Structure 1
């Protein structure tokens, strides 16, 4: 993507949920580079501080802040949204990067405790962030809610029943938010959008260092994911809203 498209993010206020992981770190750096004010959150305060400091260091002068937020607490998530809007006057995006995975040896050996874990991590956090940020994004002239999901949500395997089902539920919830934006836009069309970025899986430098002989075929590098996130703001809302944006080979 041309850096000229970064102008669509200059002055924007973008919240990033799950900012302490590798994907979150890459997103903070790229969003800051694009000129956005970045408001990061993570449940782990140490990881959050490291991620925020890295983004600030990479782009001196960029506004990157961090809040330790329990996204499993709806009131806490709403407080985060309200605080952000009060401090910066607007919210133009929420990038949802809260992730996790649990698998099983086979379908019949699926441990439903894995479902309980994934339901909270992959569904509840989407519900809470979308409900908390929806109105502010709807009022924005470039509001975007972005969920990162996996192709396995639509092609579940026997060993990934809990994970695929949780991802599919999160996707459905995000599509419902997209419909809200569509209805709110009326005849003039929506200026806000909710969309899904689809990957097979993510890879980053530390993973490559740990497994130097691995191919990671079809995986999306977290830096490429961050580039795709920024690119969404360069597209009209009508082209983005309610769509699945494929970052790997479509299956």
Structure 2
């Protein structure tokens, strides 16, 4: 049996240079976790202030749509820390457009960025988790994955695939003490969203740090009571 306290965890965070990924890295590192920061862009700044080299492994240049690249990131994590207790996958993309003959590129792009990446990194981390019968997996999905609106076909379908993937992982691995959940955020308060929607009322937007705290619970030992869930995180009330 494999048991680990929250402040001893080894957690892989993908998209670590993004707004949400960086918040997750900061939250976990501040609680003593050893963090593996995975980022597609080489040279991205993904080390939070005050995090020592022995607590953080930075892996750049990883395309999560490539299974071999995901397997390499897992191997490097195991070489450095000996195990992977949790995966937090924040990688994804957003595009909108109507269903039309010219929309196939967008359909393929959304499934590549959202669904394929989630599948590939999940498959790569599951093997070492299954070997020790312990693990936590959290993906970022979206509310349109439950019900699409106009101009959301490709995006919603790809995020719906992430939700179904999460449910399947949870069902397949419950007896191995591996949980899988996904979060459905509302509009996240980021500089990019503020620039794109300058007239929006931001009071109900979700702070990346708050989502990071929710993720912190889901990957903790206490979070083992939740699996197979799509959890809305739509902002303060």
Q: TM-score, normalised by structure 1?
A: 0.83
Shift of 1:86: 2.4
1:39 — aligned with what? Answer: 36
Q: Deviations over 1:193-222 (max 9, x none)?
A: 010111123222564477664213643211
Please list every run of 5 or more consecutive structure 1 residues that lacks an aligned counterpart in the other structure.
1-6
TM-score normalized by the length of structure 2? 0.87
Q: Are residue 101 (structure 1) and residue 97 (structure 2) matched?
A: no
Using the alignment, how far apart are the partners of 2:151 and 2:102 within structure 1?
Answer: 7
Q: Deviations over 1:29-84 (max 9, x none)?
A: 1110011000011111132xx122xx1x2445771221121212111211211221
Shift of 1:139: 4.2
Tell me the alpha carbon deviations over residues 165-211 of structure 1, each in whole angstroms, 9 at most, x when there is no partner: 000012111211111211x33xxxx2x20101111232225644776
Mapping 1:36-75, distance limit 5 Å = 36-47=33-44, 50-52=45-47, 55=48, 57-59=49-51, 63-68=55-60, 69-75=62-68
Q: Take 2:39 and 2:76, find their aligned partners in 1: how far apart are those partners?
A: 16
The alignment partner of 1:158 has SS state of: coil
Contact kept, 8 Å, 2:163 with 2:230, in 1: the verdict is no
Q: What is the CA distance between 1:132 and its match in structure 2?
A: 0.3
SS in 1 for 2:141: strand
Give the match for residue 28 of structure 1: 25
Candidates 221, 231, 237, aligned match of 1:245:
231
Higher helix share: 1
What are the residue-to-residue correspondences of 1:69-88 with 2, within 5 Å?
69-88=62-81
- The answer (yes or no) to whether the contact 2:138–2:219 under 8 Å persists in 1 is no
Q: 1:219 is matched with which residue: 190, 197, 205?
A: 205
SS in 2 for 1:91: coil
> Aligned-pair RMSD on alpha carbons?
2.4
Length, aligned pairs only: 231
Structure 2 CA distance for aligned equivalents of residues 206 and 162 of structure 1: 21
Kept after mapping to 2: 8 A contact 1:123/1:166: yes
How far the C-alpha of 1:8 sits from its partner, in A, is 4.0
Match of 1:126 in 2: 118
Cross-structure match for 2:181:
195
